[in-house]
Amino acid sequence: RGWTSLQAAERRVRSFSGSARVSPVYGPAESQQVVFADVCPLLTSLLDWYNVCILAYGQTGCGKSYTMLGPLSKDKRGDLGIVPRAAGELFRLISENPSRSLKVDVSIVEVYNDDILDLLANERRPAVSGPPWEAPMTKATKREVSPPVRSAEDFVALAAGSLRFRARRATRVHAGSSRSHLIITATVTAAPAGGSPGKWPCTPGQGHRGEMGRPAGGRASPGSPGAQQVREQVHAKLQLVDLAGSECAGVSGVTGAALRETSFINRSLAALADVLGALAEHRDHIPFRNSQLTRVLQDVLGGDAKLLVILCVSPCRKHVAETLQVLGFGAQARHVQRGPAGGGGAAARKPR
């Protein structure tokens, strides 16, 4: 019955979007490897100097963290999520062309109650009032600069180590509910190919070997004033995002500090939907400043960027209203088309 409800919800949201293109739907029996196979081609765009974002969205308890992170354990490699698999693929692509001088820097932050908290910082402030977290957190303004990451193993180790500091709380819906949006950012930096002026490693849309042009996010041409500084390095950003789940306080049973968290979570998700709606409608003003979440994601939501939204939904009939809301968000994301990179796509997944 639950699967029938999900199929009906999908048909209904297609009628909302007016789109004939069908996104893949993964059932609970599908492996993490199958899911990543549809995500993997997007990573090649990163070395074509597009900003790339892979984002998991859905109601609380529907498997977003499992899809994005998996167990992050070597003894359960078959269950590894998108983050460790993306790290492996990124460094595999880099290793295929050792002549290119590429550097990868990683930052890991969470957006908690509309504050940006750095999960890699050494100094940590006391936890906020209410039940204790698994570990306290710190403001991103006190952020430590970590050395470049040189392998997929280093990348995964950083991610696994930072997760113990993420804000979590037990609710009626989920025993380890994430109370923040987790954003893992890998910034790939390159010098001009061969070190010669006027040759970029590649430019958006021109393939890995590239030709002379501008880097993603840059507007200076090789002969323009200020171009010498731009020639020194070009950047592309990969953001892997595990959003906190949308939540109904009446269902989750939260009160006090937890209720405040729910309010901030839902407001930031609404701000994200507003931004995607404004981008889809090509409005002059895009409300990135309405939330710290959308500020952090601004580079990957517009311009030379590609966005993939993974929708995690429940197949249960009692959650059909939330499922429709999630699919509606995905339909909105599918209409976003901004800049030469094109817009985003959306895929739906049922929880295990």
Contact 54, 43 (CB under 8 A): no
How many other C-beta atoms lie within 10 A of the C-beta of residue 269?
Answer: 21
Give the pLDDT confidence of 71-128 residue by residue, as tens digits: 755 555 668 999 999 999 999 999 998 877 899 999 999 999 999 999 988 544 433 3
> Which pLDDT does position 294 carry in this prediction?
95
Helix axes 2-17, 320-334, angle to 10 degrees: 40
Annotated binding site for ATP: 58-65
- In a domain, residue 325? The reply is yes
Number of domains present in the structure of the chain: 1
What's the half-sphere exposure (Cβ side, CA atoms, 13 Å) at 182? 25
Look at residue 245 and tell me whether its pLDDT is greater than 70.
yes
Task: Give the pair of three-digit tokens for residue 128.
Answer: 């906020």
Q: How far is CA 26 from CA 70, 86, 318, in A?
A: 16, 19, 20
Residue type, 169: R
Which of these, 67, 80, 58, 54, lies nearest to 6 by C-alpha position? Answer: 58
CATH number at residue 198: 3.40.850.10
The answer as to whether 217 is a domain residue is yes
Structural domain boundaries enclosing 308: 6-349
Residue percentage of the chain with pLDDT more than 90: 37
**pLDDT band, residue 206 (cuts 50/70/90):** very low
Question: Is residue 313 assigned to a domain?
Answer: yes
* Nearest partner of 42 among 306, 301, 340, 309, judged by Cα: 306
Tell the residue number behind the tokens 């402030």, with chain if given: 125
pTM for the whole structure? 0.77
The verdict on residue 1 lying in a domain is no
Q: Which residues are annotated as a binding site?
A: 58-65
In tens, the pLDDT along 337-346 reads 755 444 445 6
Whether 23 shows a pLDDT value over 90: the answer reads: no
Query: Whole-angstrom Cα distance, residue 334 to residue 323?
Result: 17
Residue 103: count other Cβ atoms within 10 Å of its Cβ: 16
pLDDT of 41 over the 60 cut: yes
Q: Which residues contact 250 (CB under 8 A, 6 or more apart)?
A: none
Q: Does residue 179 sit within a domain?
A: yes
Please, which residues have CB within 8 angstroms of residue 211's CB and are 6 or more apart in sequence?
200, 202, 203
Number of C-beta neighbours around residue 320 at 10 A: 18
147-167 pLDDT, tens per residue? 689 999 999 999 988 888 888
Beta-carbon contacts of residue 197 (< 8 Å; ≥ 6 apart): 222, 228, 231
Task: Count the neighbouring beta carbons within 10 Å of the beta carbon of residue 312.
Answer: 28
Are the C-beta atoms of residues 297 and 241 closer than 8 Å to each other?
A: yes
SS3 label, residue 160:
helix
